[in-house]
Structure formats: structure tokens, C-alpha cells
Structure 1
């Protein structure tokens, strides 16, 4: 039961930051330079448009993962709202950003009306909400995976 939670919320998710509202002039190197004073960056994912008219242009957000959650927390505190090329950066823990998006798409209720009995771990009221969020994330990933397979099939024909 707890292993399912760890699929999405492992130790890495505690030290991974979402960095949004990036000006298109900010490069990958500049992003690393901005965040490196707060700790050792172990992974960075600067996202680019891969198709369409904006192909090759930055998407305006990235992910930065630090060695420890303390380093990530410090970077979040110091960099959230800081101006970069005239725009305030949006810095959140990546997990929080993803959960906010899922809540927006699936609502804050226990998601979809299905009963999820895998969370009978105790009387904690927050557990149901967390399980609902995890279920929503799993559903979204499954949908994205299916859409990806459909697109690949269309390109092959």
C-alpha cells in the first residue's frame, strides 16, 4: 500500500523544484547558475517545445533537483518571486505543482466517485484526500500514455 505512494512521492520528489514563468531569454546555463548557490544540483530538466510552430523554443518552465530537500527548500524560499529578465519566478516543490494541477482537473473531492479501499491505514482524514490525488495522478498518466501510443500509431501509418 505504501509502495504505491512512493511511486509518485519518493525521496527525489522532496528535493525537486518546479520553476515556472521563465522568460524565453533564460537559458539552461543561466537557470543552473541562478539555482546553484543554494546547493548541489543533481538533475535539471529544461523543457522545450518538441513540435509545432514553437519547436525548439523554451516552454517557459523547468525542473531543478537538489541533493537534499533542505537545499531545495532554501532555493524555493530565496527564488520564488525573484525577478529574472523582468518576470517573477514561480518556484514550488514539483510535487505540489503537480498535485495542484490534478486538483484543478479532477476537483478536490475523492475523485471520480470510485471507492478506493487501499487506503485503510488509519483514521487520518488527510489520507483519503492524498489517496484521491494519487488516483488522479495515476489516471492522468495512464491517459497520457494511451494518447502517446495513439499518436505513435498514427505516425506509423
Structure 2
């Protein structure tokens, strides 16, 4: 039997859920304004780190590989990504953002105003502390 969570933890979880909901809504709207689905925008965002194997994209987004194939097909048709053979295993296909894909991803990211106003309410030290705490949480969740 699991232990009940303390009220502070429950409040933090509720606040995080509220912020995630606001972020997802704005992210979907920003993607749609660029004729992208949310999933297509997420793939482009992942590719900011560099080319990734299709399987890794599927795992990161918790999707079936066949879904990623369709998403990548549509992005490729628009000239936003290109498939490449993995230099270490030519059977593996990696996906890389093209210049147009990088520009679209950067434009979408720049258009997200979700956090600007709330973050502006925090001073530089507070933003640094928040960043460090979020990094620690992401690291412990295996998401960085």
C-alpha cells in the first residue's frame, strides 16, 4: 500500500498539471498556425538536438514506430526533415531536420509566449533556481 502524499506535494502536482495544460494548449495552437500537428512540432523540437533514429523518436514520444513513420513522411513531404542512413548501422534510419525544419522549429519555439509573463514575475536568481530544480526533476525522470 502506498503512502498518502503530503499536501504540499499534492499542491505542487496540481500546479504543474495546470501549467502543462496551458503549455499544451498554446503549443497546439502555435503548431496549427504553422500547419503542423502537435506531434509533428514535437518531432521537430526533438530534432533540435540533432539527428535521431526513428525508434528513439517513437520511444521519446511514447508512440508506435508506425505513427512516427507517418509523421516523418508528412514532414519529409514538406521539406522539413530528411531521412539518413545511420553511419554505424545502415539498416537504421535517422531523421534530421533540414534548414527549413530548423527554421520552422525555431519560429514555433519563439512564438510560445506561455512562460514569458509568469517567468518575468521571477527575478534572475529565482529563474536560475527554478531551472536547476526542473533539470533535477527531469534528470531523475530520465528525460534529459
Please give the TM-score of this superposition, normalised by the length of structure 1. Answer: 0.26
Higher relative contact order (CA 8 A, sep 6+): 1
Q: Which one has a larger percent strand, Structure 1 or Structure 2?
A: 1
